[in-house]
């Protein structure tokens, strides 16, 4: 005990009390100071989370109709493309089918009745006999040949039926493109272009029809592709 405390006994207890109050009050103040900012931080975090979440919900809600509309437009374009290719298939099929029927029966459009196949007419003699160009000699030699006539008429019939029904599109595209290129090479150069004519255009369209599976729309393509024959021989699709 200090000299002043010995001289004044009341001083010592007062100092001891102050020291105890300071010692006991420091942890409470530290705890209070540490705990006080916690509440505002929680509130701030909650408000930030709430503020960030609200726009996200709005953006999602706003994007849903846009996505639905975009999907609807895509489906509409896809459907329109399918029907456009189907119309091209039917139009081209009608050309081949009509050519076959006209040459077979002599319907009077490009083949007279007396020149029909059924009346002994020759379906390739006129076209191949008038061939010009670098391959004309070959076509002159085979013009009117029985085998060539049968292959030509069978090709027209097959292409007409396949395109109109939508079956065997791959086979029809390959056979038809080959026939069109051969007919193109029989008249070179073309009358209205340096190298392009309707035969090459038909060949390109035939390949496109097979690639997009045009026989599945307004046709029997789906049924044909699921048949046992096509599953066993996929090249017939």
Mean pLDDT (the chain, rounded): 82
In a shared domain, residues 90 and 180? yes
Question: Has residue 49 been placed in a domain?
Answer: no
Same domain, 16 and 131: no
Co-location of 102 and 160 in the same domain: yes
Q: What is the mean pLDDT of residues 140-145?
A: 96
Does one domain contain both 90 and 30?
Answer: no
Gyration radius from the chain CA atoms: 45
Confidence at 62, pLDDT banded by 50, 70, 90: low
Q: For the chain, what is the domain count?
A: 2
Widest Cα–Cα separation across the chain: 155
Span between the terminal Cα atoms of the chain, in Å: 114
pLDDT given at position 15: 57
Residue 166 falls within a domain, yes or no?
yes
Q: Is position 87 within any domain?
A: yes
Whether 20 and 100 share a structural domain? no
Helix 38-105 crosses helix 198-211 at what angle (to 10 degrees)? 130
Same domain assignment for residues 24 and 88: no
Residues 44, 21: Cα–Cα separation, whole Å: 35
Indicate the range of 55-69, 105-119, 188-202, 221-235 predicted with least confidence. 55-69
What integer is the mean pLDDT of 220-232? 95
Over residues 2-15, the mean pLDDT reads: 48
Residues 143 and 217 in one domain: yes
Instruction: State whether residue 235 is helix, strand or coil.
Output: helix
173 within domain boundaries: yes
Would residue 204 count as lying in a domain? Answer: yes
Let me know whether 23 and 104 are in one domain.
Answer: no
Which residues lie closer than 8 Å to 89 by C-beta, 6 or more apart?
163, 166, 209, 214, 215, 219
Mark whether 117 and 227 lie in a shared domain: yes
Residue with tokens 């307004």: 218
Question: Could you report the per-residue pLDDT of 160-196, keeping only the tens digit for each?
Answer: 999 999 999 999 999 999 999 999 999 999 989 999 9
Token code pair at residue 179: 């026939």
Q: What is the pLDDT of residue 20?
A: 59
Residue 9 domain boundaries = 3-35
Confidence band (pLDDT; 50, 70, 90) for 43?
low
pLDDT at position 19 is: 59
91 plus 198 within the same structural domain: yes
Cβ partners under 8 Å of residue 95, min gap 6:
202
Is position 136 within any domain?
A: yes
- Whether residue 114 sits in one domain with residue 29: no
Are residue 101 and residue 25 in the same domain, yes or no?
Answer: no
Asked if 51 and 45 touch (Cβ cutoff 8 Å), the reply is: no
The DSSP code for 187 is B
Whether pLDDT at 215 is above 60: yes
Q: Evaluate whether residue 59 is within a structural domain.
A: no
* pTM of the predicted structure, to 2 decimals: 0.70
């Amino acid at each position: 005990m200090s000299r002043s405390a010995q001289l004044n006994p009341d001083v010592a207890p007062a100092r001891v009390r102050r020291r105890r109050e300071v010692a006991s009050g420091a942890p409470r103040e530290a705890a209070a100071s540490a705990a006080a900012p916690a509440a505002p931080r929680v509130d701030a975090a909650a408000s930030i989370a709430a503020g960030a979440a609200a726009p996200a919900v709005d953006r999602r809600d706003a994007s849903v109709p846009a996505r639905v509309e975009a999907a609807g437009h895509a489906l509409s374009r896809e459907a329109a493309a399918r029907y456009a290719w189907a119309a091209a298939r039917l139009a081209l099929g009608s050309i081949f089918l009509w050519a076959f029927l006209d040459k077979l029966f002599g319907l009077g459009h490009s083949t007279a009745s007396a020149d029909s196949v059924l009346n002994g007419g020759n379906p390739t003699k006129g076209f191949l006999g008038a061939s010009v160009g670098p391959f004309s000699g070959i076509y002159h030699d085979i013009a009117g040949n029985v085998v060539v006539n049968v292959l030509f008429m069978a090709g027209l019939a097959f292409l007409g039926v396949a395109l109109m029904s939508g079956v065997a599109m791959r086979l029809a595209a390959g056979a038809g493109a080959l026939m069109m290129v051969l007919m193109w090479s029989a008249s070179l150069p073309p009358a209205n272009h340096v190298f392009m004519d309707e035969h090459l255009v038909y060949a390109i369209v035939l390949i496109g029809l097979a690639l997009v599976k045009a026989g599945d729309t307004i046709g029997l393509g789906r049924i044909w592709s699921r048949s046992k024959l096509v599953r066993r021989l996929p090249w017939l699709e």
